[in-house]
Structures are given as C-alpha cells and as structure tokens.
Amino acid sequence: MDKYNIVFIKTEWGEKELLGRRAEDYVIREFYDFAAKKCRIAKQSAYKEENAILDGYVNVVLTLDMPLVKKEDVESLVCEMRRKNISTIRLGAKNSPSKICIGKGIDEGVFSARPAFLKIGDAKSYNIVYNLLKDRILDGLLDNGVYIVDKTTTFIDDTVNVEKGVTIKPYCTIEGESAILGESTIFASHIRNSVIDGADVSHSHVVCSKVHKRATVGPYARLRHAVIDEGCRVGDFVEVKASRLRDGVKCAHLSYVGDAEVGERTNVGCGTVFCNYDGHEKHKTTVGAECFLGANTNLIAPVVVGDHAFIAAGTTVTRDVADGSFTIGRVRQDTKPKTD
C-alpha cells in the first residue's frame, strides 16, 4: 500500500469564499480522513520543496485554492502514474508548486489538465471553479431527490441542508446555515440562515427566520429574525421583523410587523403598521388570539391588544385594549356640499 505525504500550501485565493465555504475548507474537509502517513499545512512564503518532498513516499503537494479536488482524483492519478511509469505530475497551473511525485521524482514531469485540479488565481478562474462547484452541489441534491427545476438560475451554498421532496423553482439563492425541509417549495427567493419547514416561499427575502408547515410567504415579502408558525399567510409587500406570528395568522398585504407577537388566527389588515420605534428605543407590541386589525391600523408600542379584540380601520392604538373589546380611534367623516 502506498505511503502518502501530503503538504497543503496556504494561498491568498484559498481564503476566497465559494458557495458558503472558503476554497481551502473544501480541500481540508475532503482530505480530513485520508490515510496519509504524514500531513501538514505550510504558508506559501515558508514552503521549500526540498524539505517537503520525502523519499519513499507518494508526495502530494496541493495549494489550498483548488476546491474541486477529491481523494479519488489523487488516487486515480497515482495509479495512472504507476501504469505509465511517470514519476512527477504537476497540477493547478504551470507556475504552481502543486504536484504529485513518487519519491523524490526524477524528472520535471508532465502537467495534468484535469478539471478537478483547477486552481483559482484570478477572476476568470474563480468564475469557472465557482460554476463547476455549483453544478456539483446541485447534482448531489438532485441525486438525493430534491426537485431543482433550473440549475442555471439556482444557487445553493454547500452549507445548506435540503431534504428529499423539496422543490426549488428558478431564480433561487439559498445561503448560509439554511435548511429547507419537508415538502417546501421555493420560487425566485433569497434565503439566508433560515429554516423553511414544509412551507411555500415565493419571490421573497428571508433572513435568520423560521417558517413552519403550511405557511405561505410572498410574493415580495421580507422576513428578518421572524418566526412564522403553521398555516400563516404573509402576503405581498409585508415585512416581518423580530416578530412571531402564531398559527393561522393572516397578514396578506402592505403591512409592517416589527418587534411583535401576534396570536393565533388574528387578521392583520392591509396597511397595518406596528410602530415599534420611538426615535430612541424599540418597543414590543403583543396582539392576542383571534383579533381583527382593520386596514390602516397603527399600533404605537409598547401596547397590548387582548384576545378577540376588534380594531376598526384607520385607528391609531396608543393604549392597551382589553379582551373582546371594540376600539375605534378616527375622526368622524364630515362631508360638506360644494359652494359656488
């Protein structure tokens, strides 16, 4: 069995992020459990080939800006070298220290143009590697039973967890530590560090949030640090920030819910604003279960609205509202006839 000596060389491009990880993280993760007798990481400025290459070993020197390389790529190349009696193969780029050599190597070697050993060294090579890596991630998800309609317009970080049965429609970007679970459907949305669990999200921006089963979000909604419970409806041009909507809440359009908790099956009317900022501090609003907030309601925090309360359209709420009460706070309409 071959004895491997692996030397990784840190480079500036190895710290470049691609699809959720630095380029060097892909390489180190891939070789974490590789059965190498010796393995070390060297700074580019400190690397000396005469000290790195060991006699009696298969020496693998890789710069950490080659995130596509796999263990099997190295092993198959070593087999090919033995079959063709080649002692040295150079990798990555013609001026790169990356190489595989059997023992000390007795010749200058040949160059391998395999895509797995592509090295990031400029904007163009970054683009090529990025798109090859993107396809690899998406192909892995397709193999696991994720329905991806259009690979060309879908971007999913390597750090994202997508379960079997999820549907990803065109124009989606899913980043960070996100998880798309159950039978969720995502269409034309940007999702970062969020959990979508059996919900539908369309044309929306979701950050650091959780959306539960049978909820629908969008089109054109924005969630920030929000929790959307089961069966909720967050519609077009609604923003929910640092708030929780309990089961069955409907907030269909043109509303802002900030620093709030809204109880089960409450209806938030069009144009409702949770006024959470007084110019100095943010304050919380609590709305009970099965309330009706009429269109164009303003809730001036801090304020509590009890269960089963009814707030008439156009009302500005500045004081707490008791359970089951009716609140109206608008100027009575006064219509006068036209005079010449």
Could you list the active site residues? Answer: 253
Q: Are strands 21-22 and 17-18 parallel, antiparallel or unpaired?
A: antiparallel
The angle formed by the CA atoms of residues 32, 18 and 224, to the nearest 5 degrees, is 110
Give CA–CA dist 261/285, Å, rounded: 7
Does residue 240 contact residue 226 with C-beta atoms inside 8 Å? Answer: yes
CA distance 96 to 112: 12
Integer angstrom CA distances of residue 304 from 98, 249, 258, 262, 283: 65, 17, 14, 10, 11
Please write down the HEC assignment for all residues of the chain: CCCEEEEEEECCHHHCEECCEEHHHHHHHHCCCCCCCEEEEEEHHHCCHHHHCCCCCEEEEEECCCCCCCHHHHHHHHHHHHHHCCCEEECCCCCCCCEEEECCCCCCCEECCCHHHCCCCCHHHHHHHHHHHHHHHHHHHHHCCCEECCHHHEEECCCCEECCCCEECCCEEEECCCEEECCCEEECCEEECCEEECCEEECCEEECCEECCCCEECCCCEEECCEECCCCEEEECCEEECCEECCCCEEEECCEEECEEECCCCEECCCCEEECECCCCECCEEECCCCEECCCCEEECCEEECCCCEECCCCEECCCECCCCEECCCCCCCCCCCCC
